[in-house]
Structure 1
Amino acid sequence: MVDIVNAVFVGPKGILLARRSPHKKAYPDLWSLPGGHVEASETLEDALIREIAEELNTKPLSFKFLMQIDHPSTSSVSFHIFVVSSWESEPEIANNEHTELTWLSIEDAKGLRDLALQEYSEVFERLQGISSSTDA
């Protein structure tokens, strides 16, 4: 089983999406949630902190597990999605994993056609439910 952690940064400007570099083997030039592979003997939380530091040059300060996506094309990959609600410094591209970062409203993110995983739409739906319940 391959475990992958992904972060959904949620802030005043919306949610953060990252466009994967065109040279990437998996999901080239598609919008994704930042993150990556969990290394052996690493917890999901430790992997999330490490991956975000490597990719976005920041540290998640407050985060919680949202959901797990088991990739439909193979039963050997699981994506563990975390909501990051506070972080140390403004996320920025820190390596060659991504070519672009953008903040989008949940509605705009739901409308994207070039997402790495179509299952992100379920992530966006859950986020919309969370933000609706906290707005009331």
Structure 2
Amino acid sequence: MKLISNTVLLDGRRVLLGKRSKGRQTYPGCWALPGGHIEAGETPLEAAIRELHEEIGVLASDLQLLDDFQTDSVNAARFYIFATRSWVGEPLLIGDEHSEIGWFDIEQALTLENLALDGYRHSFRKIQTLGFSQ
């Protein structure tokens, strides 16, 4: 099973999402949280920090584990979802994994039809419930 770390960057009540490029094998054209595969010998937290730097050029700190869930599809994976309000750098589109990035109000993110994973909705609801978005 694949292990994947994603991170919710929080700016007030907004979350950053990346639209996966149409050529991606999984979830093409869908909005997703920045993140990726956990490499051998890496913790989920280390992977989250590395992936944020590789994908959007920010150096994040004070990440807190928000959620974890498993998908049961052909592409079964376990996802670790972190959240942070602390990073250095302006999020930028780096590489070709995403065709665009954008900030979404949490309520707007909850209703996106082309959100890559329903598990993200659960994470966004936890942000609201736990007061992360204050």
Deviations 1:76-132, CA, capped at 9 Å, x for gaps: 410000002110111111111101111111111111000111221111110111227
Q: TM-score, normalised by structure 2?
A: 0.93
Structure 2 residues without counterparts, runs of 5 or longer? none
1:1-136 paired onto structure 2 within 5 Å:
1-12=1-12, 14-73=14-73, 76-131=76-131, 135=134
Secondary structure of 2:62 counterpart: strand
Query: Take 1:72 and 1:39, find their aligned partners in 2: how far apart are those partners?
Result: 21
For the 8 Å contact 2:13–2:106, the answer to whether it is kept is: no
For the 8 Å contact 1:64–1:84, the answer to whether it is kept is: yes
For the 8 Å contact 1:13–1:103, the answer to whether it is kept is: no
Instruction: Give identity over the alignment, percent.
Output: 37
Q: CA, structure 1 residues 50+122, in 2 after alignment: closer, same or farther (shift >3 Å)?
A: same
Query: Take 1:47 and 1:35, find their aligned partners in 2: how far apart are those partners?
Result: 8
Structure 1 residues without counterparts, runs of 5 or longer? none
Which piece of structure 1 moves more, 21-30 or 11-20?
11-20
Q: After the TM superposition, list the runs of 4 or more consecutive aligned residues in structure 1 that deviate by more than 6 angstroms.
A: none
For the 8 Å contact 1:18–1:31, the answer to whether it is kept is: yes
